[in-house]
Structure 1
Amino acid sequence: MTRRTRRLSGIAAGALVAMALVTPPAHAQDHAATQDVLNRYQQKAGPGAAVHAGDDTGSWTLSSGSASISEQRAITSADHFRIASQTKTFTAAVVLQLFDEGAVDLDAPIEQYLPGVFGGNYDGTVITVRQLLNHTAGLVRDPAGAKAEANGTYTLAALVKAAMDDAPQGEPGGGHKYSNAGYLVLGLLIEKLTGQSVGDAITERIITPLGLTGTSFPKPGERALRSPFVPGYQGIRVGGFFFWFDATTLAELSVWSSAGAMESTLDDLARFQRAIADGELFSPNALAEMRTTVPIAPEAPQNYGLGVFTLPLSCGGEAWGHNGVLPTGHASITMTTDDGRFASAMTNANFMPSDPSAFDLIDAALCEDA
């Protein structure tokens, strides 16, 4: 056996032992249907997975597998992890606050606020703020070739400048074309209008007022998660075995910035989405704008608004929220309903199983007592 083979075998064994030893949470019997979906989801996702759910009367958390391959530990609602594109909802919320303040016209061209920033393959006089928010601006998905700072971090200006030379995904006002680059532009917009870094603006306007003590926007070069945290993993499947390696701090987060860099917890994410639905962060008019949607794709049941999307529920009605997947080895989703139900789920790998999917898990949690 080679040294590399011994190392991979040890990782696989550690993952299997950890998952086998974790005791099912006390809530498992009370929420058996959701626990069953969670268990099946985790078997195709990361070493561990969890869902935190409830309504106005209380909450509960279920875990499956393990938070870590090196120890036996259930994932809790207070564990920190990278929320990836759930960051977009925070960014959109600040833009909507600026809309309420009269600083932003959602249907104005971005050139009005960021003169001279757009060029190359894009015309800032025909791309609107709304189109950036709902991914109909046609921008490239991710900028290529951005110039890093001497310390290996990236500025929003450099990322957006690099995106201008990339080929568009579509025409402004066309179909939904998911774009991290568009949300980097929105981060630049927030910085221009507030005079703050986008992280400071999100902290001052969203995180601190809501008391989201487990949530933060990383400074450039800051990669570590606060304790307690769920390590993120990447890996491969060989037959019935997984081979994991820790990816928690492998990526420089400033490359995602306002599109996907933030850290949070299941509990905080549920609190944040409930605050949006309850009107704590901006006006009913702004919420109506946020919930003005476009189809994601002809065959997709979800529609996309301004930093949120819809999820039709098997028990009737729909939920609102966002998901996120990052190479740090974290995948998550948080959804709420207008009658007070909420569910936030995560797994510690960037796998996206389809049967059951994260959508199936959220649907099970939201519909169990509906």
Structure 2
Amino acid sequence: MAAAAALTAGILTTTAFTPPPPSPPAQAQASPPIQQRLNALVTSDGFPAALAAVQDRQGHTRNYTAGVADLTTRAKVPVDGQVRIGSNTKTFTAVVVLQLVGEGKIGLDATVDTYLPDLVRGDGIDGRHITVRQVLQQTSGLPSYTNDDDLEPRYYEPRDLLDRALKHKADFAPGAKWEYSNTNYVVAGLIVQRVTGRPLAAEIDRRIIKKIGLRHTYFPAPGDPTIREPHPKGYAQDAPGAPLSDITDMDPSWAWAAGQLISTNSDLNRFFSALLENGRLLPEAQLKQMRTTVPAGAPFAPNTRYGLGLLSTPLSCGGVYWGHGGSFPGYETRGGATDKGRAANVAVTLQPADPKAMPRVEALVDKALCSAG
């Protein structure tokens, strides 16, 4: 997700950074290629910490760590530690919307105004002409509120975020093209709340987290800037080689339905694996809609396609994997699951200033999924 620079400016203190030594494998029988690549993310790419969880076709998971959890204390990276998962939250939000579609409470091709009458209005923006499908698929033309330079690390109500977006002109006419916008998922979250009469966080917790047993995943309460369980600290960097700033504690409400969740790599594996099982989280009809994709552009890798809050990414060994990935100040997560039962997620504790670093994280996901039994 965008706005890292605006949100991290002036927060906490900077720390001189030298790459920490790689940690030993988290498990005695760790796969050397995965561990070696994770180590390289620390020693060569400068991530303070890197964590991975790889699930094979039998559902067995191996966890890996490299680097240090805290550049000051040099504490060990907690195995399967919690991180802020950023835009992976979009998939959770989309699942709730699609569950409500399956229950006959929301229509994918109904307009936004059906559920939020007169709310989505602006220059070239009209909720009477934007569908729920377009919102979930990022084809609505709604401008992203995260493009504002003055977005600050403080508490925001969802309507505050929408109002920020509506000050800007529409990016394009609904359905004309694809473009990533966090505003789409604020609208989706508001629709969930209007239809259910309950907070989005409560619906995600009831319909997904508790349903499939995600024990380390939660939607932070209003005003809570902390991470509950053992976790590596998250860092920010203004330019390659610049000092790092500890930005672990931050009010995440600016991301809300687009990126507020906290989770672990293994919980993300469990979530994406469960999602691909017909009937586990979604009926077959709604899962098919979710997996109907269009070509995606930045910030995603070439040949990535976007469904309804779900990405398909080609694998070097053939086929694709389904996931989303997330960027949140201090953390990056990449990963997903295949139809053959494999799953992998990787997290690093820095949004790198060097744009060449993240493709190597994504390459590690590919390696893990192609080598998982």
Q: Which residue of 2 aligns with 1:270?
A: 269
**SS of residue matched to 1:91:** helix
Same amino acid, percent of matched pairs: 35
Between the aligned partners of 1:92 and 1:210, the Cα distance in structure 2 is 16
Q: 1:200 to 1:40 in 2, by over 3 A?
A: same
Q: Is the 8 A contact 2:65 2:79 kept in 1?
A: no
Q: Which residue of 2 aligns with 1:247?
A: 247
1:133 is aligned to 2:136: yes
Q: Is the 8 A contact 2:63 2:80 kept in 1?
A: no
Cα offset, 1:133, TM superposition: 0.4
Q: Is the 8 A contact 1:133 1:182 kept in 2?
A: yes
Q: Which residue of 2 aligns with 1:4?
A: none
Range with greater deviation from structure 2 (168-177 or 192-201) = 168-177
Cα offset, 1:34, TM superposition: 2.2
Q: 1:24 to 1:193 in 2, by over 3 A?
A: same
Q: Which residue of 1 aligns with 2:87?
A: 85
Q: Which residue of 2 aligns with 1:3?
A: none
Greater Rg by CA? 1
Q: Which runs of 5+ in 1 are unaligned?
A: 1-6
Cα offset, 1:338, TM superposition: 0.6
Q: Which runs of 5+ in 2 are unaligned?
A: 1-12
Q: Which residue of 2 aligns with 1:323?
A: 325
* Counterpart residue identity of residue 59, structure 1: T
- Within the candidate set 344, 366, 369, 2:369 is matched to 366
Between the aligned partners of 2:159 and 2:122, the Cα distance in structure 1 is 15
**SS of residue matched to 2:71:** coil
Q: Is the 8 A contact 1:141 1:169 kept in 2?
A: no
TM-score (norm 2): 0.87
Compute the RMSD of aligned alpha carbons.
Answer: 2.5
Cα offset, 1:76, TM superposition: 4.2
Q: Which residue of 1 aligns with 2:23?
A: 22
Q: 1:233 to 1:79 in 2, by over 3 A?
A: same
**SS of residue matched to 2:126:** coil
* Counterpart residue identity of residue 16, structure 2: A
1:294 is aligned to 2:304: no
Q: Which residue of 1 aligns with 2:206?
A: 204
Between the aligned partners of 1:59 and 1:174, the Cα distance in structure 2 is 42
Between the aligned partners of 1:73 and 1:60, the Cα distance in structure 2 is 21
Once the two structures are superposed, the pairs formed by residues 19-58 of structure 1 within 5 Å of their partners are 19-20=20-21, 22-26=23-27, 30-42=30-42, 43-57=44-58, 58=60
Q: Is the 8 A contact 1:61 1:76 kept in 2?
A: no
Cα offset, 1:116, TM superposition: 0.9
Q: Is the 8 A contact 1:144 1:162 kept in 2?
A: no
Between the aligned partners of 1:246 and 1:313, the Cα distance in structure 2 is 34
Cα offset, 1:358, TM superposition: 2.3
**SS of residue matched to 2:366:** helix
Q: Is the 8 A contact 1:143 1:160 kept in 2?
A: no
Cα offset, 1:214, TM superposition: 0.8
* Counterpart residue identity of residue 131, structure 2: T
Cα offset, 1:326, TM superposition: 1.1
Between the aligned partners of 2:272 and 2:69, the Cα distance in structure 1 is 24
Cα offset, 1:153, TM superposition: 2.0
Between the aligned partners of 1:368 and 1:71, the Cα distance in structure 2 is 35
When the two structures are aligned, how many residues end up with a matched partner? 352
Q: Is the 8 A contact 1:22 1:73 kept in 2?
A: no
Once the two structures are superposed, the pairs formed by residues 303-342 of structure 1 within 5 Å of their partners are 303-327=305-329, 329-342=330-343
Q: Which residue of 1 aligns with 2:235?
A: 233
Q: Is the 8 A contact 1:117 1:161 kept in 2?
A: no
1:12 is aligned to 2:16: yes
Q: Which residue of 1 aligns with 2:4?
A: none
* Counterpart residue identity of residue 345, structure 2: S
Q: Is the 8 A contact 1:323 1:334 kept in 2?
A: yes
- Within the candidate set 166, 177, 194, 2:196 is matched to 194
* Post-superposition CA distance 1:206-260 (Å, at most 9, x none): 1111121211111221110012112110125665xx622210114x311110001
Between the aligned partners of 1:335 and 1:368, the Cα distance in structure 2 is 14
- Within the candidate set 165, 168, 173, 1:171 is matched to 173
**SS of residue matched to 2:98:** helix
